[in-house]
Structure 1
Amino acid sequence: MRDYTLFLIIMVLVPIILARPWVGIPAWFWVGLMVPHSLTWTFMRTFPIATVIGGTTLVALLLAKDRRPLPLTREMVMLFLFLAYVTMTSYFAVNSSGAWGFWQHFVKILLITFVTPMLIHGQKRIVWVLLVITFSIAFYGFKGGIFTISTGGNYHVLGPRDSFLSGNTYIGIAMLMVLPMILVTARMFHQKWVDLGYPIIQRFSRPIGWGVYGVFWLTAIATLATYSRGALVGVLAIAPFLFINMKKKWLLVVTGFVAISVVGLTVPDRLMDRWQTIQTYEEDTSAMQRIQSWGVSWNMAKESPITGKGFRYSVLGYDWWIQYAEFEGHWRHVLSPHSVYFGLMAQHGFGGLAVFLLLMGFTFMTLNRIRRTARRKTGQIWLAEYAWAIQVGLIGYLVAGAFLDVAYFNLLYAFIALTVIMRRELEEAPQTETAQEEARSARQPWPAANGVSPTGLAPRTVNRSADHG
């Protein structure tokens, strides 16, 4: 039944996308992040959903009358530069066939990143994309939180089967990245910042908001229950930002005090054991494998600082890989760099890592600007809040990414596309009266002191009556 339902949804989406091309963008993110075909049992598990949705969206893009030009912001320029750089390193890759195969996969991710700003503009479209991205991952946070509570935290929370997010570490960083977005979404519904154009949603906006608050806490529990050390460190990194942004901090503190001192709620032993392995990493095989892999990546980058070794170098096997290691353990583990930064360093050299870090830095600065100015300049509370959410999610990614190989995660590039779109939305929105008055004041000459201007000349007298003809 699930297969037939999903097939029907896809077949209905195709004509809708052709009629309204922008719908293809949230549909693409839904397919890529939630991976709905992983929830089916038979023929839809191998059905080319991404190809159908992506191909239809590209065709619709050519027919779209409201297509916008691609904004050449510094983020987009760096994305093009990053694409050019990984193309160059793929040409010099030690595993040429494997490198070009993964290059094609990465180009597909970047293609939708470039297309998104062309079709998504205006408040409603932007918010719908934000909601689809948020709930595509929050769906697994909701499931995982309930599963963790019902089983007492005795099992890992895993992602959708046969997908990039299937492992506990990857679904952990995905939930970590959208956790601030879930919080902002709950507040948006509860406080009715945006009218999505559906009266029934507006009517039940507050109950929906309370429900999303519940999803936030279930997702937080599920993130911890992945027992991924990278996710745990990421949670610690973003927790202070989440706490500061919460409106009723006292209620959270009181609830936590009652839960610990009165109810006797404690952290599951498995979570504590996992956390302690960070302090005693020398005794933990998994941690030592990471240190070994980081040494390998560093030595590869030193040998090829500009070109790196290219994508899929690990296919050459353990005997080739171990020659770059500082030490050899008693294991023959999957040859993963176990880090965004060391992975980029090994694959694309120090040059590729530098381009990626510049891209992250520009994205972070743009989000910071939107967060600081949207509320005051244009009165767009939702824009400021979602910029904050993406910014905090990016912090979580950058911290947890030190321990996870997720440099080509499509959620990250969705964040970059959204940053570009939100910047354009801020620049094109009409300013509030207060912002306009501040701008006019900034353009006025310095006020004269005792009849003398800062230049030492007497201020000119302007005949205002002339302004009225």
Structure 2
Amino acid sequence: MRGAIVALLMFMWMPFVIFKPFIGVLLWDWISHMNPHKQTFGFAMFFPFLDFVAALTIGGLLISKDKKSLPAHPIVAIILMYFLWVTFTTIVGFEPGYSSEKYIYVLKVLLFAFVAIMVMQSPNRLRAFVFVMAGSLAYIGIKGGLFTVMTGGGGRVQGAGGMMEDNNQLAMGMAMLLPLAMYFVQHPPLKVLKWPFVGATFCVLLSIVGTQSRGGFVALAAVMGMILLKSKHKFKMIALIIPLIAGGLYFMPDSWKERMQSTENATEDSSFRGRVVMWRFSSNVADDHPIEGGGFNVFYIRRAQELYMPPGEIARAPHSAYFEVLAEHGYTGLLLYLSMLLTGWYAGGSAAKKFRKHEETKWIGDLCGAIQLGLVGYAVGGLTVNIATFDLFYHYLAVIVMCSNVGNEILKRQTFKLSDDGKTVVAAGPKKWSPPKPTSHAAREKANPI
């Protein structure tokens, strides 16, 4: 029954996609982040809905008369540079055929980001895109949070499929979602939804804890620390956070506490030692191939393992986004990857500061601030989880570009004045052109000849 419902929803909207590409972007958004078909049974579970939606959306974009150009934004430029570089490293890598599967995945992720930037260029479309993305991820977070409560923290919240395949990746996704969930508490689509969004945010928080991911716990701590640092109500936040932490520690079982405390003895942990081995492997590959690296999935290529794996060790996942990029794309790729992350961070902060000044664009400024905090969770989580190709990171970058486009268009159409408090800038209405008034009699005659 679930498969039939999901298939009906997909096929019902597909005919409209060719005429309204933004509907296709929203469907693409939903499928990418929630993977609804993966939670069904039968033919729907394996049917390539995403490929059909993507093809129809691109076809509709080609025949549409709407504006289709990518904006001149630093984020767009650095993503394009990174994509061109990974294309090169795939071609010259150890085994291009073996690397092609991951390359195609990255191609689809970046294609969606670019199509979304081109299509979602209005306030309502931006709101819809972010709401669908947050709602799709919140569905997973609410399920995980309720599961954590029902099992008393004893059961582990596992991966949800797609980009969040295992519990570590799920924890990263939820840590990135948390600031966005708090944004919707601040800016709910309807006022009656504020308290349900508060409950959903709390479930997202519990789902991170329920994954029992040590990397997720560190990412959560980083995000909460940045939220506290940027908050104007620090004492209120501390007064709220301390009881939550104390209650959570009391509530969670001993097995969870022991796993979290194992971070203190990381050097004695076999999992940590395995990660260090893979980080050494990445360094060895980069030392021999500093420019181009070994190409996608070099960790699983037998020839690379024989050359660069420390003797007697078993190959596994890299467990670090930074060492993942280093081994696959060399020091050049790592530099571009870090530049992409820092550009997103800086652009998000700059846009937040710019748009929060104006009443008409304050919601955009707060959205950029939430996305920037989400990037903190990604950057910290990437230290111990291989999430270099994580969909949500590139889609967050796309949202910052969308916010800049929409915010700048709103500001162009408005003239502003200071509010009564002398601090907030409010819209005074659309700009109207009027000819300058001549000041002298001669000038007036010249301007209005008989």
- Number of the residue aligned with 1:313: 298
Matches within 5 A, 1:330-369: 332-333=314-315, 335-369=316-350
How many Å apart are 1:225 and its aligned residue? 1.2
| Whole-Å separation in 2 of the counterparts to 1:125 and 1:407 | 28
SS in structure 2 at match of 1:155: coil
Report the CA distance shift for 1:327/1:183 in structure 2 as closer, same or farther (over 3 A).
Answer: farther
| Whole-Å separation in 2 of the counterparts to 1:219 and 1:267 | 16
Are residues 1:167 and 2:151 paired? Answer: no
How many Å apart are 1:251 and its aligned residue? 6.3
In structure 1, give the amino acid aligned to 2:404: R
1:16–1:23 Cα contact (<8 Å) kept: yes
Report the CA distance shift for 1:108/1:435 in structure 2 as closer, same or farther (over 3 A).
Answer: farther
Matches within 5 A, 1:237-252: 237-243=222-228
Correspondent of 2:391 among 367, 388, 410? 410
Report the CA distance shift for 1:214/1:247 in structure 2 as closer, same or farther (over 3 A).
Answer: farther
SS in structure 1 at match of 2:292: coil
In structure 2, give the amino acid aligned to 1:425: V
Matches within 5 A, 1:307-456: 307-317=292-302, 320-321=304-305, 323-326=307-310, 328-329=312-313, 332-333=314-315, 335-377=316-358, 379-430=360-411, 431=414, 433-434=416-417
How many Å apart are 1:215 and its aligned residue? 0.5
- Number of the residue aligned with 1:90: 90
| Whole-Å separation in 2 of the counterparts to 1:260 and 1:416 | 31
- Number of the residue aligned with 1:225: 210
2:298–2:304 Cα contact (<8 Å) kept: no
Q: Deviations over 1:402-455 (max 9, x none)?
A: 1111111111111111111111122222255237999xxxxxxxxxxxxxxxxx
How many Å apart are 1:180 and its aligned residue? 0.4
| Whole-Å separation in 2 of the counterparts to 1:272 and 1:261 | 13
Q: Deviations over 1:37-66 (max 9, x none)?
A: 111011101111111111111111112222
- Number of the residue aligned with 1:68: 68
How many Å apart are 1:375 and its aligned residue? 1.9
Report the CA distance shift for 1:390/1:264 in structure 2 as closer, same or farther (over 3 A).
Answer: closer
Are residues 1:5 and 2:5 paired? Answer: yes
1:260–1:266 Cα contact (<8 Å) kept: no
2:38–2:46 Cα contact (<8 Å) kept: no
Unaligned runs of 5+ residues in structure 2 are 424-437
In the superposition, the TM-score normalised over structure 1's length comes to: 0.85
- Number of the residue aligned with 1:52: 52
Correspondent of 1:277 among 262, 273, 277? 262
Of all paired residues, the percent bearing the same amino acid is 26
1:61–1:67 Cα contact (<8 Å) kept: no
Aligned length: 427
- Number of the residue aligned with 1:448: none
How many Å apart are 1:385 and its aligned residue? 0.8
Unaligned runs of 5+ residues in structure 1 are 193-204, 439-462
| Whole-Å separation in 2 of the counterparts to 1:260 and 1:406 | 27
| Whole-Å separation in 1 of the counterparts to 2:246 and 2:10 | 51
How many Å apart are 1:126 and its aligned residue? 0.2
| Whole-Å separation in 2 of the counterparts to 1:355 and 1:387 | 22
1:322–1:328 Cα contact (<8 Å) kept: no
2:24–2:54 Cα contact (<8 Å) kept: yes
| Whole-Å separation in 2 of the counterparts to 1:435 and 1:86 | 48
SS in structure 2 at match of 1:354: helix
In the superposition, the TM-score normalised over structure 2's length comes to: 0.88
How many Å apart are 1:175 and its aligned residue? 0.8
Q: Deviations over 1:99-125 (max 9, x none)?
A: 223222211111111111111011110
| Whole-Å separation in 2 of the counterparts to 1:322 and 1:274 | 33
Report the CA distance shift for 1:95/1:387 in structure 2 as closer, same or farther (over 3 A).
Answer: same
- Number of the residue aligned with 2:148: 148
2:216–2:381 Cα contact (<8 Å) kept: yes
Report the CA distance shift for 1:148/1:263 in structure 2 as closer, same or farther (over 3 A).
Answer: closer
Are residues 1:176 and 2:175 paired? Answer: yes
SS in structure 1 at match of 2:291: coil
Q: Deviations over 1:134-154 (max 9, x none)?
A: 111111110010100110000
- Number of the residue aligned with 1:114: 114
Q: Deviations over 1:269-298 (max 9, x none)?
A: 233212222110122111111111111101
In structure 1, give the amino acid aligned to 2:417: T
Report the CA distance shift for 1:264/1:416 in structure 2 as closer, same or farther (over 3 A).
Answer: closer
| Whole-Å separation in 2 of the counterparts to 1:49 and 1:234 | 32
- Number of the residue aligned with 1:100: 100
Are residues 1:133 and 2:133 paired? Answer: yes
